[in-house]
Structure 1
Amino acid sequence: MALDGVTRDRPEPDAAEMASRYGLSVSGARPGLPEYLRRLWEHRYFIGEFAKARSSTKYTRARLGAFWFVLTPLLNAAVYYLIFGLLLGTSRGVEDFISFLVIGVFIFTFTRNTVTSGVKAVYGERGLIRALHFPRAVLPITQVTIQLRQMVISMVVLMVIVAARGNLPDWEWLLMVPVLALQLMFNTGLALWAARLGSKASDAAQWLPFVLRAWMYGSGVLYSVERFTQGAPEWVGVLLNVQPAAVYIDFMRYALMSTDNFGAENLPPYAWLIALGWALLALIAGFVYFYRAEEEYGRD
């Protein structure tokens, strides 16, 4: 408008103010936690079908197909038995070392594979993230579901192996269900944590395997913690026994093995509370850590 020969432009309307006035919101904005959980629950069927599709295509070009889900940990157990059990003598003093070793390898493999697949869950699906709007936690939870499907198959093979070693089924075998449920909660938290770490082009996928390998060596997968910490300070044995991987492995050995070396007295004090505590801590902390970066995924 002209006034006294001077043209004065009207001030530009504030875009943020107008968007708020007319109910517009930022694309991909992070919803509140209750709403986020509700949306995540609505996608539960998609998670199941997505996991099924990914599982069926993983070994499509291999002749043995899905049998590799079981064959891989079995081959790892065989290699560990030759190197550690026979050559290094970690089997000495361990009754039924084969069952001991196979249980440790299978249970730790469940956690290790969940973390290594979780770290690629977001970065590997950038195209899907940019094309569709959905809670990004769907992606790491899908990877957890894939690993759970594989673990169920592996547990069948594991039960056959330990039964063939003379550990006949009894009521304690039912403990497998709550132990796996707690480990699943723990693994889900780790997968969410790893997914955010690897959500951008970082080196997480390169250094995590080294951390996991060191974790395996400190979890009593290949040897008896009690035997190898006899000359060490007491706190070393306590630390190795109460860390989460060792707790879940010890519980599964207690459930499946009928030898005296793996009775309830060999579990750490308050073992169930420790197992539950690790599961809740990992799940809650991992979910919150992942959720707080919801708006950043797929925008690199």
Structure 2
Amino acid sequence: MAQDGITRDRPDPEAAHLAAEHGLSVSGARPGLVEYLRRLWQHRYFIGEFARARSSAKYTRARLGGLWFVLTPLLNAAVYYLIFGLLLGTSRGVADFVSFLVTGVFVFTFTRNTMTSGVKSISGERGLIRALHFPRAVLPLTQVTIQLRQIAISMVVLIVIVVARGNYPDWGWLLVVPVLALQLMFNTGLAMWAARLGSKSTDAAQWLPFVLRAWMYGSGVLYLVEDRAADAPPWVLHLLDMQPAAVYIDLMRFALMNTENFGTEYLPDHVWLLALGWALLSLFAGFVYFYRAEEEYGRD
């Protein structure tokens, strides 16, 4: 049915003009990048409180409660030590295999858990998305905040372990802060990439753990990559050493372990450049990838 030459399925030019004049916009429309970042900053307290609530609720029914944040990676490390360190003998060539292993497990767990929680951050909160209007990046950032809280607790346990193994504090321990900061940037980008991926593919949460497990085996978490890949082509060894998980693990081991236990007095400068490069690339690419689909989240 038409009225004054304007059909119902076409926008009224006069209404559109009035909306623009009074600053109205389409509900759920993606704002400009600067405005989007401003809105995210306005929601920073909500992100912190939402993360705290989600962390508290995760283990509400467990008798040990939040202790599982630390017990889970510790138990994983214990299992890996029994299987790989003792049964398969991957501890050979590492002076302090316990510190070597636990550091690798804790650092990689930070990245792995950020991705596995990020992939469900949109698909698991569709009710909240449809009920409230807020920047959707709040949801993956909440998951990143939860994992940051967990790694902060885990680092206390890790420090106790490495000290008990004879790795005493020195000035090198100050490197822990920039290492974690760079890994946090890297993980944030991955969480945003995983969030958009999980919002479009319901199977992403099922196959992602298998990819992460393969990534872990190639990151030197459980053994020295140089020993296990000694017969591989040189380019394979370089690729394994330069990939981001291996870079952040090496930097953390270098910061916490004594020279005798870690096996080297220094790391090449390019390792820090790689850590910075991976962090910036992941954060920028992940954020842009997520931001471009802002209008689509929660509509299907």
For Structure 1 versus Structure 2, the TM-score category normalised by the shorter chain is: over 0.9
Deviation at 1:269, TM superposition (A): 4.9
Distance in 1 between the 2:190 and 2:114 partners? 8
Structure 2, unaligned stretches of length 5 or more?
Answer: none
In terms of Rg, which structure is larger? 1
TM-score of the aligned structures, taking structure 1 as reference length: 0.94
Describe the superposition over 1:207-241 as per-residue Cα deviations: whole angstroms up to 9, x where unpaired. Answer: 10000000000000000011112222111111111
Within-5 A mapping of 1:169-180: 169-180=169-180
The TM-score normalised by the length of structure 2 is: 0.94
Q: Corresponding residue for 1:20?
A: 16
Aligned partner of 1:263 in structure 2 is 264
What is the alpha-carbon distance in structure 1 between the residues aligned to residue 244 and residue 13 of structure 2? 50
Q: Which amino acid aligns with 1:149?
A: R
SS in 2 for 1:79: helix
Distance 2:96 2:240 in 1: 22
Q: Encode CA deviations 1:233-270: one digit per residue, 9 max, x unaligned.
A: 111111111100000000000000003344354x3551
Residue in 2 aligned with 1:56? 56
1:19 and 1:264, CA in 2 relative to 1: closer, same or farther beyond 3 A?
A: farther
Q: Deviations over 1:58-87 (max 9, x none)?
A: 101000000000000000000000111111
Instruction: Please give the root-mean-square deviation of Cα atoms over the aligned residues, in Å.
Output: 1.4
Kept in 2: contact 1:117–1:143 (CA 8 A): yes
Q: Distance in 2 between matches of 1:90 and 1:258?
A: 20
Please name the residue that 1:189 is paired with. 189
Could you say which residue in structure 1 is the equivalent of 2:148?
Answer: 148
Call closer, same or farther: CA 1:19–1:171 in 2, change over 3 Å. farther
Residues in 2 aligned to 1:219 and 1:142: alpha-carbon distance in whole angstroms: 26
User: How is 1:233-244 mapped onto 2 (pairs within 5 angstroms)?
Assistant: 233-244=233-244
Contact 1:122 1:139 (8 Å CA) reproduced? yes
| 5+ residue gaps, structure 1 | 1-7
Aligned length: 292
SS in 2 for 1:198: helix
4+ residue segments displaced more than 4 Å: none
Distance 1:250 1:262 in 2: 11
Give the secondary structure class of the aligned counterpart of 2:133: coil
**Matched residue, 2:90:** 90
